[in-house]
Amino acid sequence: MRTHAEVKTETAEARDSRVLTRATLRAAELLDVSQSTLARILGVSAATVTRMRQEAYRLDPRRKEWELALLFVRLFRSLDSIVGGREAHAKAWLHSDNRALANKPIDLILKVSGLVQVVNYLDASRGRA
């Protein structure tokens, strides 16, 4: 039987980092966002995203990547709610021209200001639904 001292426990910060890293990767996968595009959204290198996929790197709550990942996951959750979980609709919306945004959302979210704009647009749209 293992003693309490022998049992490794994950800190809350480590757990949060693991969860957000996985959620970010899953959202990118479901939205058909490439690894290089995700790297640009998060402001990290493509090699860092590769390490994230290999579970060799987790997002750091003390870095800007954390806030950007939170926004990206929020975008996914809002869009998923609007389209009722229909993955194909979410992908199509993200990769298609949008008159209200005057661009493709995927192109906008490559910059922080565009990511915030798209999240705000989706939040407002959810409020009307």
Q: Could you list the mean pLDDT of each consecutive 10-residue stretch along the chain, which spans 129 residues?
A: 57 94 98 98 98 97 97 97 96 97 98 98 83
Q: What is the pLDDT of residue 113?
A: 98
Answer for the pair 115, 71: CB distance below 8 angstroms, yes or no.
yes
Phi-psi region of 128 (alpha: psi -120 to 50; beta: other; left: phi over 0): alpha
pLDDT of residue 10: 81
Which residue has tokens 């409020």? 127
CA distances in angstroms from 74 to 6, 17, 21, 68, 102, listed in the order given:
37, 16, 13, 10, 21
CB-based contacts of 4, cutoff 8 Å, min separation 6: none
Is 79 in contact with 122 (CB distance < 8 Å)? yes
The Cα–Cα gap between 11 and 21 comes to: 15
Task: Please state the pTM of the whole predicted model.
Answer: 0.90
**Which residues have CB under 8 Å from 58's CB, separation 6+?**
14, 17, 18, 21, 52
pLDDT at 127: 76
d(CA 66, CA 95): 24
Other C-beta atoms closer than 10 Å to the C-beta of 1 total 3
pLDDT of residue 71: 98
